[in-house]
Structures are given as C-alpha cells and as structure tokens.
Structure 1
C-alpha cells in the first residue's frame, strides 16, 4: 500500500527541508528495485532510500544499512558517474501526483551550474527511477521499450515525458467546489472512484476518509448525492486540505490484529479508528519505513539462505561472462596480433629500445597512400622478443576461440537457469517447495549436501487451479514440479504454457480431446505470466502449444525444455484474477 499524492506532498516537504544543500557522497543499489543515497549535510549524514518495488514503492529517510552486491549494477555505476559530488538543489512534487523530482546541481570550475534530475515515479508496477538532463533521459532503473508500452517509452536519449493522466484537478490549487461539480457529472460511479478519477493525488484511503468525515457510507454512488451531501463532502475535503496546507501533519499508520497494514496517511485516519490500531510518528519517513516491516510476504529462513546463495552464484557468473566476452572480442581480433608481429619482424633492426610505442608502416594496409600503425612496445624486451610475444598471443587466442564460444554459451545458460531458481524461490510458500529447490541445487552442483541428514521433508505438489469453464490447470512452482506437470501429468493433447524467453512456471491446461475456450486459454496464460519473472510487468508474452510439441533435450537441467508449433498471447498479470482461479 503506497502513499497517495496528498500524503506524499507532506513527505517531500520533509525531504526537501532535510536534504536541500546536501552533498551526495555515495550511491548504492542493493537490489534491482532499490537505491540508497548517502547525503552529507552540515551537521549530519543522511540516507535516502528510494524503492520502486512494485509491491511497495517508496521514498524516505532511513538509518538502515543494506547489503550490496559485490559488483554494482550498471544503473548504479551510471548514477555514481553523474550524481556523486553533486548537491541537492530541491525536492519537489509534480502536480500532486506520485512523482518526486530531485534536482542535483554541479558547479563547474568556471562557476557555471549544471543541473541533473532524478525523477522518482511511485506508481505500483509502473514505478521507475529516471535520470535526466535538460529533459533528455540518460537512463532508467527500468527501461520501457515499445514492446512494453506503445504510449510511453523510457529509454536513453529520448525526451522525458510525464506519465499520462495529468489533467485531473489538483486539490491544493483548484477550488474544492470545482472538484465536486466534476464528480457529480460521473453519474454511474461510486463517489470514492469518482474522487480518484477527478482529483490528482487522491487515493482510496483519502477518499474513504473524506466520505467518513462527511457522514456518508463508503459505497454511496454519485447519482445518490443531494445538495446537503455535497456540502458535507466539501467541508470534509476542506478539513484535510487545510490541514495539509498549514504544514501540520500527524503521520499515521493503521494495522490490523495480525499486524497487517490497513492504511497510511499524513493525517489521522478516523474511518479506520474503530477496527484498527493507530501508530503515530514524528515524521513521514518513519511512518513509511514502518510500513515496510508490515508489507509483503516474509521470507522463510531457508528462503533467505538459498536466495543469498543464488545471488552470489549469479554475481560470480556475471563477472565471468564479462571476462569471457572481452576475451572472445580479443580472440576475434587474433589476426591483429599476428600482423603486429610481422610488422615488428620486418623492422627488427630499426626499432628504438626506449619507447613504449612505435609508429611503423602498416604492411597490411590496402590504402594506395600507405598507412602507419602504432604498436605497443615493451621496453623490457628486445625487438625480437616483442615480436615473439605478439605471435604467442596470436596463437593463444586462435586456440582459445572455440573454447571461449563454448564457455560463454554455458555461462549464459547457467545464468538463465539461476534466474529460473530465483523465480521458484520468490513463489515458494512452504518448506516442501523450498526442500525441492534445495535438492535441485544439490543435484546440479551448486550446493553441497551436509553430512548430517535433515529430517526428510515430503516433496511438494504442483499448484492446481480451475478455469471459469471448469477445466483443471496445473502450475509447476519450481523446476522439479515443472518436469512433473509437463512430462508425467500432462497428456499429449493438453495445452502447455510458458512465458516467452522469460523464466517461469510450466502451466498445463487439462483440455483432453476438446478444444478449450479463449477464456480458459487466457486464464492459464494469466497464471503462467503471474508465476514468472515478469509477474509485475505489463503485456507479458506467453507462448502456448500442445504438450506433444514440448521436448526435453538429453542432459538438460531441470525445468529446461524446447518447443514449437506455439502461439503467443499477451497478458498483464493481476493478483485478483490469480486468486479467483486458484480458489475455485
């Protein structure tokens, strides 16, 4: 549950007051969603956390220390290059929307000031962090291409545009009467939905609070409002807007009996007071950070251990991949080293001994006018030894190319395999599923079996769902289950689903001999998209084909298959749809 625009405005005022003028000393990226900026102020050092985790996007000050990967992600390196050493000029909000604008100034040697902007869009699964200069995108933590959004791309060198939907009324600047005049024109909507549709910065929590303060039920529709109701809504809205405009705040978090998050705002949430417990804080940062301890599924201890192992192994493979790519690029250029050796041999008695480079005629240039070449020269070696070192490197690279091709291919396959393990860990919900993953990591050599045997844990079972037409769907939540549903439980005529080129679950639609309806196909595809690495993305491509066209290559790792005769459907996963299918 994220802050709406009204409460975010209070938080950004706090951040602007605390951080303006501060120098950005260090930047870290603990995971693919999170940034941590260390900001030095005159009398204190502060840490600004920015997360675009789709399930809990947020921005706030923190005192937490987060573990960082051994190799910083590319976006982190870019931010360090562009932002470290700069001073925060201001932190503002775009039109009361869930968008924070952080401007960072750099003073040149001649006194001129250059400004770069870090734009933080806190919008659920569409959340993003974007670095711009002069409104041109330098990069983003999540690049959005035309394949993901036709209306708005976020890519380097493109002009930055704000997300659509900016024409709504800003309650901090527009008359409240205009707000409710617009609401009453939407006759078929609930008042809460109409308020969100008309007013920018209003979320469900604020809309329900306004209705409660006005003495109206939360399910009242716009066509049921009379003049007295509208007057009451005006007064209730004015009480919240006046409170925020005055600079006052009472950061409030409401929790239930099981400590679940029920609501967060910068003002008291009176409509929740009778059923939930109120937690008040002195700053919005403290309130938002507190919600993080309540939000989302908590990892089991085994889950944390296995996740750390997979992350470390993936980091090692990513480093290995970079080295192999460079070595392969060198190997592809092997002839250059042979040519350098030949040119040195042709000039053996004319080479200086005290220069680390030599400029010689390029014997291999096809230019009629001739062409010189600059060759690196090791002054510790004789001219002949220099030539021989180039020949040695040529022969080594020539022999290595075939080996490097195979090593790089294997490295890429291992990275893809570990990504499938990561997806399995994210969706694991019990010890049996984690036991399956542990056994798989042992069997594939990533984990050693401990000498002391644990109590045996029964293997987990694939997840089952039912389509609106009554057909059964089987979902493999890890690679062991994937192999079971595909090759042991599915019949040849059943329909097999998997996200296209994205790690995820094998999903089987038990259609038998009948041709399933489009509704059933969409339901199964929805589950395949949700139980994949792309569960928080939009327009996820899902391939589907008859089970007969799915094969497992000899010696392939668990969960790996090849297939053909497929069709592709695009799905935007929705947790509510998944819940309705699994509960049937």
Structure 2
C-alpha cells in the first residue's frame, strides 16, 4: 500500500472507527491480524497485514480462518486492548498509529509500520516502551532494536517537504519535466512514482510545474476521494483519485476506498494464494534472462579472445624452424612466414630470459591452455543456452497459465530450480497436479490422437512418456511453445498431410508465435527426440527433423 492509499484509508477510518469496541482479535497466519470492531456504524473487520508484497490496512468483508490456539502476539492484543480511540497516519510516512484504551483505561498504541519487507506491528505502552512486536527483531535495525522493553522510535526517515505545507514551491531548477519528476520523488511526501510521472507528463504538455503541483495538491487535500482500480501501462493499480495526464486503459470505481482495497488485494492475493505471486515469478524469470544474456555476451567475448590460437601455433612452429637464429637475450626475431601466401617476413616477440627452445614451447603452452579453455567455453555456452531456453519456456508457460493448478506447477518448478525462494504459505495446502492429468488431447480430422502440454512439466511428460518411436513430434522452431505429439496408434503407412499440418498448426498456436500469420514448426519422429541427461523438464534435443510453415491454430 503506497503513501496515498494509506492516507486515503486512514481518512475513511477516522470517520468510521473511533470509539469502536473490540469484539474479537484473531491472527489467521504469521503476517495478518484481524480486529473485529463494533460501534454505531455496525460490526466491521479491520485487516492489518505485514505481508512483504502486500503490507496494508483496510476494512474487509472477507472471512479468515481462526486458529484454535491464538499465537503469542494475538494473545497479548486480546489481553491488553479494549476500545479503539483514534487512528492517524504519521505525516508523510507509511506508518499508522492506532490508539486504544486497555484495562482500567490504560492507553496503548499499535504502530502499523507498512514498509514492505520491513513491515511490522508494534504494541507500545503509555511510556513509549515496546510491549511486544508481531515480528521481533533480535538485531538492531538501524538504531532500533524491536524487542519487548526497548524504547520505541519511529523508523528513520529522510526529511522531506509535506504536500500539505502551504509554503510548498517548485524551485526554478526543477521546472523541466525530468527534473520535476525526480524532485517530486526525492523531496515531497507523500509521493509515489506514478503520481510523479503523471505530474511530469502535465509539464511535458506545456503546463507550468508549479501550477500542476498546486492543482494536484488542492485535489488531494480538499476534494472527495475517488476510490478506483485502474490499469495503466498494463499494470493494475489502487488509487484514491483520478490521474490527469497518463493514459488509463481500464477503470473500476468503488463506493468506498475500503471496498476498492478489499477487491484489489483480494485479486492480488488470489494469485499469491494460488502460486505465491504471479508477478513475483515473472520478475524472477526476467532477472534470470538478463543474467544469462550477460553471461552469453561475456562468453562470446572470451571466444573472440581465443580466436588467435591457430596463429600462436604457427608462430611456435616458425620459432622451432628458426632456432639456430635465436639467442638468449633477444626480444624479437624476424623470420620468413611460410604460412602466408605469398610468404613474407614476420617479427615474433621473445622473452629475453628464456632459451630459444623455451620461447617456442611458450607459444605451444598457450595453445594447449587455450584449447582446454575452448572446451570449457563450449560447455559453458551450451549450459547457458539451455538455461536461457528453459527460462523462456517458463516465462511463456506463466503467461499462458490461467488456473491455480498451472500456476502452482510453475511455482514448484521455479522453487526446485532455485529461481525463487520457497513459499510455505501455499506449499502446505497446494501441490502441483499430476502432469498426465494436465495433458490436452483431441482428435485430428483423420482420427489421430493429438496430445500437447502447456508448461514444462506437461511438455516433459508428452515428450518422454507419450511419444513413441514412430509417432510424430512437433514444436515451434526457435521459440517457446508446447510439445505436441501425433499418436500413430494402429495406423500403418504414411500419416495424411492434412493430419500432419493440423498437429503442426496446434504447435504453432500454443507457442510464442500464436499471433503471427505463419510459424515455422519442427516435425520429427519420436525416435529422434531425446532428453539430455540432467536437463531441466521440457528441454529436449532433436537429431533429425523437417520443417513446415503453417498458420497458428488454437482449437476450442
């Protein structure tokens, strides 16, 4: 939850919750606390979440499991808190202070630090001492040690100018769009990259920076909230106001910001719950592709540096043929290069401390060392190439996934490969489905059975277990896609062209080239398809194949 979203949520809660009695507190998991509150507005559930990717607070209509035995921090809150007195945001920060009355009206503050990976809930007494934390920090974080009995201090923050400051002015040095955007992100609070980009877009349209900022400031401080979920540049965002200058491709308004937040995070955690975060997996795969591209570039440079091995061998041979002309102490020798056409003189560098024979051997040692490095380089390049192919296949499978089962299978494979960290929140209750049950099948026009996979594990099952030696195997050439097999079954002789092209079109349709007019598809006999020893799921080598160019097809 960004700074504006927190401020909008607090603005709503300030009107609804003060004075509410606490009916129940429960903790469904290690990162979430639910406060069930009651006042004249009715019964409400306030969610406080410290989940790193979705730290937030908002009213929720959703139900959560209530463990039979309350965890430590939940028991403490139940024992100490009775009534919610006030809720406020620390100005400009992603920290919300909830003030409670406890036993005998003793005051307590529950500090909700909604700081992504550093999010925490901290109960503080009237003497500013920490009673306890949801996540205890045995080590000091900056100058803070978040442990019971320690004094509580707010997280250290860089001084910035508050947006509510009436004296807020844009220095002349930052009137240009790029400088203006950077200044907003560095110096103003609250501020987010999206809002800074939107205001800078207004400056690019010719509007003065100070007018753009003042207009937004007035809308934010004085205008009613406009709760909505929008899509900008392909990304779904939760906003309490309209953007002015950026293009919005989709917009969903809500009656309250709490309703918008509940919907937004419900959809986001739907992906989280199914597979630990689809966006997280995509970003991990893209990082992996960037790393492997850098490695391949480095290996290509090493290959170029090894390109002179043959010349080093020739120079060594020329030295051997002219040993009688070389004396210890010489730094160069000029000899006739009979490797050139026509032969011409060439000057060869020498080490004056070495004998003539040792100088020749020095060149041959370089060649031997280079040859060993060349073998190692070829192996590393092939490993990197296979890794890139696998990452591309995984990214494509993630884009194609549309069920929780498929996302879970992809998550499991990425965890197994060490691309992302294990996520215990979903692993205990969700298991990847059986690949054989996820294979897609249909009959061709000539009644041949066609099977194909939609991710690496099902592709692996199709190629290793469903493809017989005389079946036909298909895959879009040089791009991620499904492994497709046309089962010969009891049919003898050649497979009709119509059926072959039908299977090839499916391979094209379930590939990265699905939107192209035509795609080149490899066609191979099953006996030509092999999985290298130790290769990741879905990676195969094809010893012999032909190609066909077909339009993609995705049968219903």
Shorter-chain TM range is 0.3 to 0.5
TM-score under structure 1 length normalisation: 0.46
Question: Relative contact order, CA 8 A, sep 6+: which one is greater?
Answer: 1
TM-score under structure 2 length normalisation: 0.48
